[in-house]
Structure 1
Amino acid sequence: MEPVRHGSYLEVDLGLLKSNVELLRKSYDKNEILFMVKADAYGHGLISIVDFAFRECGIKEFGVATLNEALYLRDQLPEFTGEIYVFSELGLSFRDHREVYLHKRIIPVIARWPDLEAYLEDERTRSQLPLCLKFNTGMNRLGIPYDEVDKVIEKLNLYQKKSLFHLLTHFANGSLSMHKNNRNIWQRERFAEIKEAFKKANIILERTSLSNSAAIEQGIGKEETHIRPGLLLYGPSSLAPNIRSQSQWNGKVISSLKTYILHSFEVKKGDPLSYGSTPAPEDGVVAILAVGYGDGVSTAYQGTKLHYKGKVGKVCGRVCMDMTTVLFPVGTQLDQGDEFLIWSHEQEDIESISRQTKTLAYELVIQLTPRVSRIYRLN
């Protein structure tokens, strides 16, 4: 087990996760949730998040990026009977990989022709493994080209496949207006055309989904069987700042990043601070926080405003591997050993840091290293 920091940790409130799920279900009461938990559940801890979401929130379907993530879930949670979808690295061209999908009940999201052909040409895979297809309607990353749907139908007919377990696509500009952004409009139209093509070919679509977190925030995708929230259920908004006011989401951030004041001292304007000898911009009081880029609080935090007991400080000087220097106004009472909250459960906290560091809210949590313990609460 990797050594962890004393006093610096990510507190994850599982009660808030449950509240977020309940809030989402009020808006999407007829849709099933396929909860995205890739990248260690967006940095919150894969096993704890999936176990709680499955047992306490009633979520039965989860999405990861790689086969190894899916295997880790199955191995660590032997009593977990939910569905696991693998979205990126499939490896279906390898027979041993196909055997793993079959024996471990893992569903590959097929988004490339070589994977589809490997799936169809293997009789056991074709007859026993659910067929899940992702089409590229405009993201231009992974996905079978939308204008090749007839070719896909021809191939499925050749192997007498009369149904799809799940049909998906993914928005490229979900953080922008779903009603005004041309690409978002095109992608919705193309997905509708793909569904209609399968319908005309008498191929049954058991499940369909296109809405990620940003689309869900805008009320999109209720006509499909599923939605695929990722960041949304962890709390932060996925929308661009200029349309944030249009969000229909008011969930709570389930994580709170906490550290403590290791040391404090007074400085005069011009006194050098940290690596690079950054001159203090004004007289003040410095708090040395027991967290740095070795913990995932990156050098991008330089200049970021942080709050402590109603006072506003600013990260001054370069963030170090193990410590961060924050300058507060003259007279600020800084208590050594006192807890220091970098962000709370309010959306604005983490989104403010995201704006100031020019970093996605996703990244702020995901980049936290194993030195920062994940501590779980149920409040």
Structure 2
Amino acid sequence: MAINLRPTIAEVRLSAVRKNLQKLKKTAAPARVLFVVKANAYGHGAAALARLAEREGLAWGFGVSSVEEGLALRAGGIISPVLVLGSLYPFESFVEAINADLMVTIASLDAARQVIEAARRLGKKAVCHIKLETGMGRIGARKPSVLKIYDELSASGAVAVAGMYTHFSSADTDPRYTAQQLGFFSETAAALRERGAKNLTLHAANSAAAVTVPESRLDMVRCGIAAYGLADGFEPALALKTRVVFIKNVREGAFISYNKSFCADRPLKIATLPVGYADGYLRRFSNRADVLIGGLRCRVLGNVTMDMTMVDVTAVKDAAVGSEAVLLGRQGREEVTAQELAALADTITYEVVTLISGRVPRVYLE
């Protein structure tokens, strides 16, 4: 069992995840919810949250990016459906996926032929969802290729086509483009029905579309960011916390951190925190972000370093070694949000939480 002595942790409130999934499930009904837990559940811990959702019936199944992520869920005891959303390569990945009862994404004729070969080699039927490209420009086949893929898979007898899906590019910013993508999807779904396709699970909506575009919910919605509380109207689940490990007083003119990146303009009290960019606390937060100590906002001073960050605690009367520091989350009446940190780093909330590294223990609170 790993020993964790360093006080830097990511706290995940299971009650918030539960509440968010319940809200998504109610909003999407009768469509099912595929809980997207790729990238270690956006940094929140995939195995623990998948077990919560499976145990309490909060999701129909789970979406992952890779076969490895799916295998990790199976190793963690998850028995619900798991859909690998990424394009599989090398094609030997299909063998591992089929063995573990993972549903795979098929986005090309080559992939269709490889999954057929893998299923026949194993003597076990594969289950897949076909990915339609409607405007994301990432992976997926256009309508003519989708029809050919469906025909080849259906004729093989070795692969069950369980669904078809697409991915919205701009569901939170461009309703017209989203409607256009949904129109392309509906046309292809109709063409598949004309070919005799029955009981396909059709899905297109991500969190934004599931909440704001009712017509996109179809048979299933794929929700990630809202489940973690990082979309409007949902409750954030994750907090990044540590404790002060060193306190010092500096004179006017003293330099702080690498490259003399901060110079004190008056006498200051400085706290050192055992967290840095190796933990996912971005260097872009240098001299810009606030940390909560003693219920007050304390500015980061100088460059964030690999393992440590310095902050100004001059105004915190009782600041001492051992004082709690909240880098993301709430303390007293103050809160540092993922949205705030994302704006400082000119990025998105997804990146803020998924970059919290594996050396930061996840602690789960009810």
Instruction: Flag whether TM exceeds 0.5 (same fold).
Output: yes
- Paired residues of 1:5 and 1:373 also in contact (CA < 8 A): no
Q: Match for 2:253 among 266, 270, 274? A: 270
- Counterpart-to-counterpart distance in 2, 1:127 and 1:136: 28
Q: Alpha carbons of 1:158 and 1:48: their partners in 2 closer, same or farther (altered >3 Å)?
A: closer
Residue identity matched to 2:279: D
The one-letter code sitting in structure 1 at the alignment partner of 2:255 is P
Which amino acid counterpart does residue 145 of structure 2 have in structure 1?
E
Q: RMSD over aligned Cα, in angstroms? A: 2.7
Residue-pair matches, total = 360
Give the distance between the partners of 1:107 and 1:100, measured in 2 at CA: 11
Identity rate, percent? 25
Q: Which one of 238, 244, 251 corresponds to residue 234 of structure 2?
A: 251
Give the CA deviation at 1:132.
1.1
Over 3 Å counting, the alpha-carbon distance change for 1:104 and 1:330 in structure 2 is closer
The partner residue of 1:367 within 321, 339, 355 is 355
- The alignment partner of 2:65 has SS state of strand
What residue is the counterpart of 2:163 in the other structure? 166
**Corresponding residue of 1:246:** none
1:249-273 superposed Cα distances (whole Å, 9 cap, x missing partner): 4111111111011122333443200
Structure 1 window deviating more from structure 2 (287-296 vs 339-348): it is 339-348
The 2-side partners of 1:252 and 1:157 are apart by 43
Q: What residue is the counterpart of 2:17 in the other structure?
A: 17
Does structure 1 conserve the Cα–Cα contact (< 8 Å) formed by 2:244 and 2:274? yes
SS in structure 1 opposite 2:84? strand
55-64 vs 314-323, greater mean Cα deviation = 55-64
- 2:212 maps to 1:218: yes
Partners of 1:127 and 1:43 in 2: CA distance: 34
Task: State the partner residue of 2:101.
Answer: 105
- Secondary structure, aligned partner of 1:47: helix
Q: Is the CA contact 2:97–2:104 (under 8 Å) kept in the aligned structure 1?
A: yes
Where structure 1 has 5 or more consecutive residues not aligned to the other structure, the ranges are 238-248
In structure 2, stretches of 5+ residues that fail to align are none
Matched, 1:203 2:197: yes
Are the aligned partners of 2:244 and 2:272 in contact in 1 as well (CA < 8 Å)? Answer: yes
> Shift of residue 5 of structure 1?
4.8
Which range is displaced more, 227-236 or 307-316? 307-316
**Aligned to 1:294, what secondary structure does the other structure show?**
helix
TM-score between the two structures when normalised by the length of structure 1: 0.85
Is the alpha carbon distance of 1:4 and 1:331 closer, same or farther for their aligned partners in structure 2, counting shifts above 3 Å?
Answer: closer
**Which deviates further from its counterpart, 347-356 or 34-43?**
347-356
**Structure 1 residues 168-177 or 252-261, which shifts more?**
168-177
Distance 2:282 2:83 in 1: 32
Q: Which residue of structure 1 lines up, in the alignment, with residue 296 of structure 2?
A: 311
Give the C-alpha shift of residue 3 in structure 1.
5.7
TM-score for both structures, normalised by structure 2: 0.88
- Does the residue aligned with 1:130 lie in a helix, a strand or coil? strand
Retained in 1: the 8 A contact 2:243–2:325?
Answer: yes
Preserved CA contact (<8 Å) 2:294 2:323: no
Alpha-carbon distance between aligned partners in 2 of 1:126 and 1:139, rounded to the nearest angstrom: 35
Partner of 2:337: helix, strand, or coil? helix
SS of the aligned residue for 2:244 comes to strand
For residues 307 and 340 of structure 2, the distance between their equivalents in structure 1, rounded to whole angstroms, comes to 23
